Amino acid sequence: MEATTLTTMSSDLQSLVQRIREGDTCAERELLDKYYIIDRIRMMISRKLIASDEDKSDLLIEIASAFIISLREGMYDPNRGNLGSYLWGITSNRIGKYLRRKERRRIMTEMVTEPVATRCSSDTLLERAETQRRLKRLIGRLDSKYQQVILLRYYQELAIPEIAEQLNIGERQVYNRIHYALRLLGNLM
């Protein structure tokens, strides 16, 4: 029986990834089956998340699809890490997005069901709106490379690796830009 590890890039695994990039759907199925991708994702979800079986199943499909699509589009670079780490990164990011969506839904539900008397006062809402307008103006004063990372991170809610990939820069650079931009915004406030 052949090894089914994702930590080393065997010639068989390289061949599968290349075939997937070329659009071979049989290679996609073979990769999923031979390297137990679905089981690996399921295990990672179980370790990191307490959710209903339906939510876990939806998330499993979402992660597996994102993994295969990223391979099709040639987004995996074996020089930056092994395929197992790549899968782990995609899984972690998708679980993070799931948790953020769940938290937003919880907050929205609370806002809708919370009695009007306990909600924020109109003064507080006005202050919040003014702060948001002021923050948008201040972000507009930043250099474009700092504007980009702030908008991608806090408005589009992308993960650091996704931002790095989109801007074609390293993750460390993304962290540095976000940190510097936040410091600049703090000074401007």
Q: What CATH number matches the domain at 1-119, 1.10.1740.10, 3.90.700.10, 3.30.360.10, 3.40.50.880?
A: 1.10.1740.10
Specify the pLDDT at position 1. Answer: 36
Q: Which two tokens stand for residue 6?
A: 């994702």
| Most confidently modeled range among 1-5, 27-31, 134-138 | 27-31
Specify the pLDDT at position 111. Answer: 58
> CB count, 10 Å around CB of 148?
18
Q: What confidence tier does 42 reach under pLDDT thresholds 50, 70, 90?
A: very high
Q: What CATH number matches the domain at 120-189, 3.60.15.10, 3.30.70.100, 1.10.10.10, 3.40.50.300?
A: 1.10.10.10
pLDDT, tens digit (0-9, with 9 covering 90-100), for 79-97: 888 898 899 999 999 998 8
Burial class (CB in 10 A: 0-12, 13-18, 19+), 122: exposed
Look up residue 121 and give its DSSP letter. Answer: P
Rounded Cα–Cα distance for residues 158 and 153 (Å): 5
